[in-house]
Amino acid sequence: FDYGIVARRLAAHSGRDAEQIRSLLDQSPLLFRFESGQMTNDEFFGEVSSLTNYTGSLEDFADIFGDIFEPIAPMIELHGQLRARGVPTFIFSNTNDLAIRHIRANFPFFAGFTDYIYSHEAGAMKPDARIYEVVERRTGRCGAELLYIDDRLENVEAGAARGWRAVHHQTPEQTIAAVRAAGLL
């Protein structure tokens, strides 16, 4: 994902430049409130609109805000291979309803996971221990029974502290090798 995409697209319909919008959104307190379930879509839209002088509709904003993802083909293939082997797979994400709507509508592979744990529904964001507890309850697994892949080191460290087999995703090749080493492929 890349909030620079959103920033550039919103800048065309607002009174702020792309860099100002990016700093408002990317890993900001405002985004934290939204992605931890403390704000509705309407409240988030209203606040962003007010802060940026955005002139579009909520529907247009939702399309722009959700469109921050690029598929990574080797990771999609890895997921397919795991599913073909009967390995349960879960999405565990700091995210929001607008992003999820966009992903579901535009990336068919996303429907193939066993379950989904989203920060905005859990009321906590990684690396907060509460959301890792949700994962353990929903999966029925804990400790080394879980292989956890994340691109943010602080999140990986939080999983590893719970005894999870944690992989810091940096490249598809490295992550696929780690999954192989774990005996899942």
Tokens coding 65: 């805000």
pTM of the model: 0.92
The share of the chain scoring above pLDDT 90, in percent, equals 89
Which pLDDT score, from 0 to 100, does residue 151 have? 96
> Does the structure show a pLDDT above 80 at 1?
no
Residue 118 pLDDT grade (very low, low, confident, very high; cuts 50, 70, 90): very high
Which pLDDT score, from 0 to 100, does residue 67 have? 87
Which pLDDT score, from 0 to 100, does residue 27 have? 80
Q: pLDDT tens digits, residue range 39-90?
A: 999 999 999 999 999 999 999 999 999 888 889 999 999 999 999 999 999 9
What average pLDDT score do residues 24-29 get?
87
Which pLDDT score, from 0 to 100, does residue 63 have? 92
Separation between Cα atoms, residue 176 and residue 164, nearest integer Å = 17
Cβ-count burial 98-131 (b if 16+ within 10 Å, e if not): bbbebbeeeeeebeeeeeebbbbebebbbbbeeb
Nearest Cα residue to 176 out of 71, 73, 68, 93? 73
CA angle 24, 29, 106 (to 5 degrees): 65
What average pLDDT score do residues 150-156 get?
97
Separation between Cα atoms, residue 50 and residue 53, nearest integer Å = 5
Mean pLDDT, the chain, rounded, equals: 95
